[in-house]
A and B are shown apart, each in its own frame.
Chain A
Amino acid sequence: MRPRQSLIEMFSTFLQFDAERWASDPKLRRSMQHCLEQLQRSEKEENFWALYWHKLWQAQPAPQAGQAGTALARSHLTAYLQESCYWTAKKTSDTLASNHYALSDCFQMAISAVDTVLKGFNPTQGYSLKNYASAIFSSALRNELRQRQEVDVCTTWALLRRISQKRLVESLQQAGRSNEEITSYVLAWKCFKTLYAPVQATATRQLPPPDSATKEAIVNLYNKERGNEISPSAPKCSADILEKWLLTCAKAARSYLYPAQVSLNAPTSGDDSDEFLSDLPDSLTESLLTEIIEREEEQNRLALAIQMRAALTAALNSLDSQGQTLLQLYYGQGLTQQQIARQLEMKQYTVSRRLTKSRETLLLALAQWSQNSLHISLASNLLKDISLILEGWLNYHYRPPELSSEME
């Protein structure tokens, strides 16, 4: 893949896997051109624009009709993060044993975490959006692969037993079911879960359909509960209806948890009306600029970031060699824990535990460094952020060589 050079390209083009090229989005291109003229910033400041769009996105993070600025900011940032996403996807897809998923599939799965990236990114932490995005893309992708692998091998009835209530409701919403229908379906599903459980210790993925006595019992339970749970006037259920409902749930769940590939990469701004910065109140633009410029001038923060990296590198070097090897294989080569286990002839759970333990040592070192150098009092929510910084740093430290120049 050819890295993008110009600032306009970085914030307005999208990766095209079939054609192996960067496709430009005319609207985003015009928007970037417009901004560059209007704000008179130099072409080179990639980081400035990343922060700028993020700040704008943050101002109104929930996309709502009429808030063109938010959707626009999100599109610019999605374009900007294409490369981080690409390298993350490549690292993972290179190590996948089966060729079930192409690089482009992995890319699609990872890029769908873009909102998680934008929501979680905290510009005051001294790490770039790209680093942070790599960490999030990478764990989102692995999570998604793991989930799909399970969904893939589950029978209809196993899937119904093993979906969370949250996802079931989301699946039904996505399938266009009304709230009333969803209430009935979820109650039927709960009754099903009460009465139908695996009858052996393993093979929970290959559950057969419930027998007719169980179905009858589920129907009875539903009819008993509907008065309290829905309303006394809610219609009765029968065995046929119940089965139909449950199959609908399973179908919705499967297509939600394991969607056929849809292109999520295209920018969301479908119409081509020119609503860019001119639509934003000037005061907002002004204050955003001031804030970003102030931040850029904080040399102190930069110095701290350097110190922090030094502290982390020292902590990393003081790990035993096995710990270092594990981190290198995991973050550097993107191997799965199982692949590492095979390569080092260790048990997988040993790999898992040592890796976790090594990471814990680094987290402790980083937390102590923050406590001592920044004079902050630690709390769990702060440690949660520190953990994300660590994840960003590990991805940065073990970044693929293709990116080493760019991400310095």
Chain B
Amino acid sequence: MSDGTLIFEPTQVWLELAREELTRAWQQSQSFVWPNCRWNAYLNQLTLSAVLPWVQEEYAPAAKPWPSRAALLSFWQAVTGTAIELDNARLVFVPTDTIDLSELRVPQEWVDIPSWAGDYYIAAQVNPDEGGVLLWGYTTHEHLKTAGIYDSRDRTYCLPSDELILDLNVLWVARQLCPQETTRAALAPLPILPQKQAENLLVRLGNPDIAEPRLAVPFELWGALLEHGGTRQQLYERRLGLPEQWSVKKWLSAGVSELAENMGWGLLELQANIVGARGEESPAERSVCRQLIIAGQPYELRVFPLDDSDQPVWRFQLRNTSSGGLIPGGFKLRLLTEDLQAFENNEDVAEQAREELFIEVSLAPGEGLVWETEPFPDKYDREILRF
């Protein structure tokens, strides 16, 4: 792209980006309020665009962004870093645009939030002017936790370059020759925030005037807020000043919000005669649904009110959408309160293969629910549906 002499080592990986990708990444990153946040999102987007095709072509065709592409903006709003999931390992890329390759600084979130932690942390130097990304060193979670220096000022784990493995080839050779190697250190779980506390934090940190929300409250609270996909998403929306995006009632009357649509939600309108043919539990004419992949099979999660009243009973149902497909024995559909507590009749279990799993629940206006299945679907990230 430029005529400068780029000098790389064969131990490093230089990945080029097309001009259009720079433009697209730039546009996608402009919604954030703070300049550094926009810039971080841009660097992360570029890293993902460069790295994902490379990993897929060279090493793992099934590699995908974690938890899902649609969730990334809510991560980047909070902290820099992009995770890619392989079959049995997670790579966390930490992009910077620094000139010198002297250290790797990994935000604490990627290290100490148990469900976020990766196996490998890879230093990515993004150079928009040269149109590429240089991967120049990496380490494991285990090494970062044991040898890394924790900088409490900006809550990062730092390793100087001589503590990193500066040959990216080693990563892939290690995965082939010593797959049993310990890559992760043990982590203590973070608390689950009571709903009231989560709401208080969201009000406080959702204020876009706070420059560095990640440093504004103790890490345990911040980490817990982020680990729950639903509150992380709300934080993102509040800092952007967006109105409620997850009201199922609103979706049914005015269409699914764009954000929820990106996550896979859609509106389904049924013909009256098909409704009749379904039998006793006739669904309403409109429902919202989300396609899921669970253990390699396609499913549909459908949510709809059972009557037209102001406070209807809501039905959550899960079906296998492959022709003649059933829900295998052992599968569960479960609903939880916003702060992930169980309640009476919140779960349906398939003792043996069944046509559907369903839960019916009455809710107060404004109440929120989190759904989950067991096993988890692909790209699962908790979300809070509002009723």
Interface residues of A (CB under 8 A from B): 96-98, 116, 119-120, 139, 142-143, 145-147, 149-151, 153-154, 159, 161-167, 190, 193-205, 221, 229, 257, 330, 336-338, 347-349, 352-353, 355-360, 363-364, 367-368, 371, 377-381, 383-384, 387, 391
Shortest A183–chain B CB gap in Å is: 9
B39 within 8 Å of A (CB atoms)? yes
The residues of A that contact B255 with a CB separation of less than 8 Å are: none
A201 and B98 form a contact (CB under 8 A): no
A193's closest neighbor in chain B, by CB?
Answer: B36
B100 and A349 form a contact (CB under 8 A): no
B36 and A195 form a contact (CB under 8 A): yes
Complex CA distance for A119 and B103, rounded to whole angstroms? 18
Complex CA distance for A364 and B178, rounded to whole angstroms? 12
The residues of B that contact A380 with a CB separation of less than 8 Å are: 140, 165, 170-171, 174, 178, 181
B36 and A194 form a contact (CB under 8 A): yes
B154 within 8 Å of A (CB atoms)? yes
A337 and B103 form a contact (CB under 8 A): no
State the majority secondary structure of interface residues on B: mixed
B115 within 8 Å of A (CB atoms)? no
B195 within 8 Å of A (CB atoms)? no
Q: With A162-B97, A194-B35 known to touch, is A119 a contact of B162 (CB < 8 Å)?
A: yes
Interface residues of B (CB under 8 A from A): 4-16, 22-23, 25-26, 34-36, 38-39, 42, 54, 58, 96-103, 105, 128-129, 131-132, 140, 153-154, 158, 160, 162, 165, 167-174, 176-178, 181, 211-212
A164 and B4 form a contact (CB under 8 A): no
Shortest A255–chain B CB gap in Å is: 14
A194 and B34 form a contact (CB under 8 A): yes
Shortest A70–chain B CB gap in Å is: 19
- In the assembled complex, 22 residue pairs joining A and B whose CB atoms fall closer than 8 Å, in A order, are A116-B162, A139-B9, A145-B7, A147-B101, A153-B4, A165-B103, A166-B103, A167-B98, A201-B23, A202-B22, A203-B129, A257-B99, A257-B100, A338-B7, A349-B132, A353-B58, A356-B11, A358-B10, A367-B173, A377-B178, A383-B174, A391-B11
The residues of B that contact A330 with a CB separation of less than 8 Å are: 10
B129 and A204 form a contact (CB under 8 A): yes
The residues of A that contact B58 with a CB separation of less than 8 Å are: 353, 357
The residues of B that contact A337 with a CB separation of less than 8 Å are: 6-8, 14
Shortest B372–chain A CB gap in Å is: 35
Complex CA distance for A387 and B12, rounded to whole angstroms? 12
Shortest A135–chain B CB gap in Å is: 10
Complex CA distance for A98 and B4, rounded to whole angstroms? 10
Complex CA distance for A337 and B101, rounded to whole angstroms? 19
Q: With A165-B105, A166-B102 known to touch, is A355 a contact of B35 (CB < 8 Å)?
A: no
Complex CA distance for A164 and B104, rounded to whole angstroms? 9
A197 and B36 form a contact (CB under 8 A): yes
Q: With A150-B99, A162-B99 known to touch, is A355 a contact of B10 (CB < 8 Å)?
A: yes
Partner of B6, one of A143, A151, A338, A357: A338
The residues of A that contact B172 with a CB separation of less than 8 Å are: 360
